[in-house]
Amino acid sequence: MSRSNWEVVIGLETHAQLNTASKIFSGSATAFGAAPNAQASAVDLALPGVLPVMNRAAVERAIRFGLAIGADVAPRSVFARKNYFYPDLPKGYQISQYELPVVLGGSLAIRVGEGADAYGKTVRLTRAHLEEDAGKSLHEDFHGMSGIDLNRAGTPLLEIVTEPDMSSSAEAVAYARALHALVRWIDICDGNMQEGSFRCDANVSVRRPGEPLGTRREIKNLNSFRFLQQAIDFEIQWQIEQIEDGHKIQQATVLFDPDSGETRMMRSKEDAHDYRYFPDPDLPPLVIADDWVAQVRAALPELPAALAQRLQAECGLSPYDAAGLTASREIAQYFLDALAAAGTPAGAQLPKLLANWVMGELAARLNREERDITASPVSAARLAGLVARIADNTISNSIARKVFEALWNGEGTDADAIIEAQGLKQVTDVSAIEPIIDEVLAANPKSVEEFRAGKEKAFNALVGQVMKASRGKASPAQVNDLLRRKLGG
């Protein structure tokens, strides 16, 4: 069996929990982790006679999203009831949007892969609509019974649906990551995947090139990028094997089991509910005036795609660097703050150097200590001060790492103070370096001989010796220069 004979078609539906203080149709709080049913009001419990009232803040977030993906914000959209029975669905219906959603169209640019194989792609969005979440059924610790926690019931969700535009798990993950970054960037969702604030359903089908779309199966509730990738990969493989074995794919909803790494059927098309959608008579159509949209647009931050473009154009950064720095609003803000602190001079190298440090040393260190960039011990201004000293050749990169370490540990107020106090300034005085070179050449006649015989590696060894002898303070470029001159190379 060969994957290359097959085309994969993937569409994603993502539920992003909107970060409003209260629920979508009641005044209850939405905070995660309260005691069961402590955040369930009469409306959330669906007592007789209660009515839903739309939370304006949820609508505002939907508008923000629509504008951020270049979609149309519907001037009039309609809430519908999706009817089915389940113990954690208190009304026996979910209020959602069906025929007329609040956001239509739009697209999201993604970058897939790394390095030379990386490529860009645009994923089209079909729609995004507002709806309420259900509660939770708790199946443990109740001695044969199930517990119902309705704290989550009525939490606002934005369901974001793509066109079937992705053709690999890598593309699906790249899209999910970009969407995850975007909803956090525009501050409509906290993106906490462990708590279920951002979860994906993947519709997957395969076909031979040139054939019509295959039958899709929907993988439900994937709450990590890794599971998304694993589930899709398993599903693709499974579908191809089924077809190659002469079976037909039946439309179905499946669940991914992270322990086995497999998908298994939850219900077939025959078992599919008839949800009996109809417009909710308790809620008038949602009318969004143009001036509201204009207000939201005016308050929107610069979007990641636009900022990435700007960083490439104004700072000469690569698409890869620009994408990395706009992976989250916090990283971008850190970088912009550092850039501002560094000022404009110091050579064209500075933004690139700064980008390397933010995504390299700093990111690695933060990652290692599981810290958020907003809680970095090295502030943007201090990192800028450090990088500026690299850019103007005051210190080398390796010395800079020592200074960074000192800054991280809170030794000294800024890079300059540390460089001064520890005497780390790069030595660029020829008269100070020449004697060291002479000593090294005298002590390593073998290397000198090898270099003269054409071995470039021997040269590097000599540079290393000189750097070591200068305790790292010599400028590598200058040492290179002087050595070559002395060796007549």
Q: Which residues bind another protein (CB under 8 A)?
A: 42, 45-54, 81, 83, 85, 87, 90-93, 148, 274, 276-278, 281-284
CB of 90 to another protein, least distance (A): 6
CB of 48 to another protein, least distance (A): 4
Task: Output 50 or 170, the one with its CB closest to another protein.
Answer: 50
CB of 408 to another protein, least distance (A): 53
Residues paired with 157 in a beta bridge: 17, 131
CB atoms within 10 A of CB 15: 19
Q: Using CA atoms, how far apart are residues 220 and 204, in angstroms rounded to an integer?
A: 11
Contact 474, 427 (CB under 8 A): yes
Task: Output 153 or 346, the one with its CB closest to another protein.
Answer: 153
Exposure letters 222-232 (e unless 16+ CB within 10 A, then b):
bbbbebbbbbb
Contact 204, 232 (CB under 8 A): yes
CB atoms within 10 A of CB 242: 14
Task: Output 241 or 282, the one with its CB closest to another protein.
Answer: 282
- Phi and psi (nearest 5°) for 157? -125, 150
Task: Output 148 or 383, the one with its CB closest to another protein.
Answer: 148
CB of 294 to another protein, least distance (A): 24
CB of 132 to another protein, least distance (A): 14
What torsion, rounded to 10 degrees, do the Cα atoms 420, 424, 427, 428 define?
-70
Burial of 31 (0-12, 13-18, 19+ CB in 10 A): exposed
- Residue whose tokens read 């078992």: 271
Burial of 351 (0-12, 13-18, 19+ CB in 10 A): buried
CB of 21 to another protein, least distance (A): 17
Task: Output 150 or 303, the one with its CB closest to another protein.
Answer: 150
Task: Output 91 or 180, the one with its CB closest to another protein.
Answer: 91
CB of 229 to another protein, least distance (A): 34
Task: Output 137 or 250, the one with its CB closest to another protein.
Answer: 137
